[in-house]
């Protein structure tokens, strides 16, 4: 292997308490791993040397919540929302029809296009879900296609009840043959526990079945109003509960006392004209918070984690340091991928070499200059891809 020292880093965000935030720093990459982190003055000799010229470096974005296996377009739905129509879960059926009609090549091509789009903006680790097939065959197809491209795949057969079916009979399928069909391709299972989707009992049936199959658990919860999603996620030990837009004091306390990460999705809140999730309230209570894009064609059609970070700082009361942590190590924590050898969301010896260099002297510019494309270079698994 060829070791590369990346030097001239004006500000290095490591997300490691022991290393902290370094100035005038350098990082050495060998193969897919970081092998050394420290001051430029102490950098070791390596086979190659890249000087980033006084720019800031942080871990690559970890986008822990996306829905990228889809076909079709929902521009008309977005225009209706902007004209005042309320968001509801039922619009998902439009994407289901288009996805079922698409070929494998079309779905895979669109998925690669969107992942590449995200990588060009500094995202180096991507989770994506099934959930636009909603039959045994179609969900298995989505899971297989996702597994070829994404870093993490989540089974979301319980996204919405397909048109013309009853919720109870559909849950039977999700918990039985559909789960069997997708299990070889996925690590996680999720459920949309929300008005218009699945109630608490139905959601628990899905999650318990997935848990028995050895899958990790995630929950879409508390998006459209206060509901059972957060409490269900905490009680079953889910790795994350995502949206968290409408929370009671009891919900916040339960999250604070648990290992369940609260993943906020600011681009989705803005696109659906919902209140922004109470990130400051969660952080002040001691809850672990992640930020993700929720990239999907209906409620959040963006792959820009920088946009989400800027929104979190400018409108949700988070500091730049908190928002960057939430969009990197927080997302990794939500995926249980921030510890051990090959960890993501951190820059330390042994971590996966996922590095994001900004065309700016500090990470503060992500919020100071919102909307400006600041990604200057990206290393993913040790390979420079931007």
Count CA within 13 A, CB hemisphere, residue 177.
Answer: 8
pLDDT at 216 over 80: yes
Q: Note the pLDDT of residue 90.
A: 65
pLDDT-derived band of residue 89, with 50, 70 and 90 as boundaries?
Answer: low
Terminal-residue alpha carbon distance, the chain = 20
User: Does the pLDDT value for residue 1 go beyond 80?
Assistant: no
Whose tokens are 């050495």? That residue is 28
pLDDT at res. 14: 98
List of domains in the chain: 3-60+345-384 (2.30.40.10), 67-334 (3.20.20.140)
pLDDT tens track for 27-64:
999 999 999 999 999 999 999 999 999 999 999 999 99
> What is the average per-residue pLDDT within 236-260?
98
Environment class of 44 (CB within 10 Å of its CB; exposed 0-12, middle 13-18, buried 19+): exposed
Kindly tell me if the per-residue pLDDT of 6 is higher than 80.
Answer: yes
Q: Is the dihedral of CA 50, 52, 57, 59 positive or negative?
A: negative
In the block, tokens 């010229």 appear at 53
Mean pLDDT throughout 202-210?
A: 98
pLDDT tens digit sequence for 314-373: 999 999 999 999 999 999 999 999 999 999 999 999 999 999 999 999 999 999 999 999
């Amino acid at each position: 292997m060829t070791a590369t020292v990346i030097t001239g880093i004006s500000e290095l965000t490591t997300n490691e308490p022991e290393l902290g935030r370094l100035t005038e720093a350098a990082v050495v990459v060998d193969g897919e791993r970081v092998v050394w982190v420290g001051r430029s003055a102490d950098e070791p000799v390596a086979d190659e040397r890249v000087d980033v010229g006084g720019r800031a470096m942080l871990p690559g974005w970890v986008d822990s919540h996306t829905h990228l296996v889809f076909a079709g377009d929902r521009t008309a739905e977005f225009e209706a929302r902007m004209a005042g129509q309320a968001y509801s879960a039922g619009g998902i059926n439009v994407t289901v029809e288009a996805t079922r009609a698409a070929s494998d090549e079309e779905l895979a091509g669109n998925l690669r296009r969107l992942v590449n789009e995200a990588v060009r903006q500094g995202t180096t680790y991507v989770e994506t879900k099934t959930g636009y097939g909603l039959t045994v065959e179609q969900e298995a197809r989505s899971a297989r296609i996702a597994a070829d491209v994404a870093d993490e795949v989540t089974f979301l057969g319980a996204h919405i009840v397909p048109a013309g079916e009853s919720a109870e009979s559909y849950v039977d399928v999700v918990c039985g043959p559909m789960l069997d069909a997708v299990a070889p391709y996925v690590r996680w299972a999720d459920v949309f526990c929300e008005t218009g989707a699945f109630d608490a009992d139905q959601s628990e049936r899905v999650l318990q079945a997935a848990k028995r199959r050895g899958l990790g658990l995630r929950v879409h919860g508390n998006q459209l109003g206060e509901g059972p999603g957060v409490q269900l996620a905490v009680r079953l030990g889910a790795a994350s509960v995502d949206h968290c837009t409408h929370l009671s004091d009891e919900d916040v306390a339960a999250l604070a006392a648990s290992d369940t990460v609260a993943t906020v999705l600011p681009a989705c809140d803005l696109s659906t004209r919902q209140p922004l999730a109470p990130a400051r309230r969660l952080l002040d209570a001691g809850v672990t918070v992640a930020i993700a894009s929720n990239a999907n064609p209906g409620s959040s059609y963006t792959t820009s984690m920088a946009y989400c970070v800027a929104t979190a700082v400018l409108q949700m009361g988070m500091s730049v340091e908190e928002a960057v942590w939430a969009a990197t190590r927080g997302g990794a924590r939500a995926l249980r991928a921030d510890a051990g050898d090959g960890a993501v969301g951190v820059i330390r010896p042994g971590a996966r070499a996922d590095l994001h260099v900004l065309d700016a002297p500090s990470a503060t510019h992500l919020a100071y200059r919102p909307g400006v494309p600041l990604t200057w270079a990206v290393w993913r698994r040790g390979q420079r891809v931007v």
